[in-house]
C-alpha cells in the first residue's frame, strides 16, 4: 500500500467530514499551536528559553537605536 493511500485512509477516520470539510482539522492545529507556545515559554534549551532570547535581542536593538540617535 502506498503512503498516500495510507494517509488518505487515516484522514478519513477524523470525524466531521460532511459537516466541516477540511476545517475539521482546526482543533488539531490549535492544540499544536498551544503546545508549541508552552514549549517556547517553559522549556529551557541550555540556560535560556525562546522568550529570554527574544527579550534580550529586543532590548539590544532599542539600545543600539538610542545610541544612533545620540541620546
pLDDT tens, N- to C-terminus, the chain (71 residues):
678 998 889 888 888 888 988 899 999 999 999 999 999 999 998 889 998 999 999 999 999 999 998 86
* pTM, rounded to two decimals: 0.62
Which position has the grid cell 522549556?
A: 43
Average pLDDT, rounded, for the chain: 90
Q: How many Å apart are CA 39 and CA 27, to the nearest integer?
A: 18
Domain boundaries, given as residue ranges, for the chain: 2-69
Amino acid at each position: 500500500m502506498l503512503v498516500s493511500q495510507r494517509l488518505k485512509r487515516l484522514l478519513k477516520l477524523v470525524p466531521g467530514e460532511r459537516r466541516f470539510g477540511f476545517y475539521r482539522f482546526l482543533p488539531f492545529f490549535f492544540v499544536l499551536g498551544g503546545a508549541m507556545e508552552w514549549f517556547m515559554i517553559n522549556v529551557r534549551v541550555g540556560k535560556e528559553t525562546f522568550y529570554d532570547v527574544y527579550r534580550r535581542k529586543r532590548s539590544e536593538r532599542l539600545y543600539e537605536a538610542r545610541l544612533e540617535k545620540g541620546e
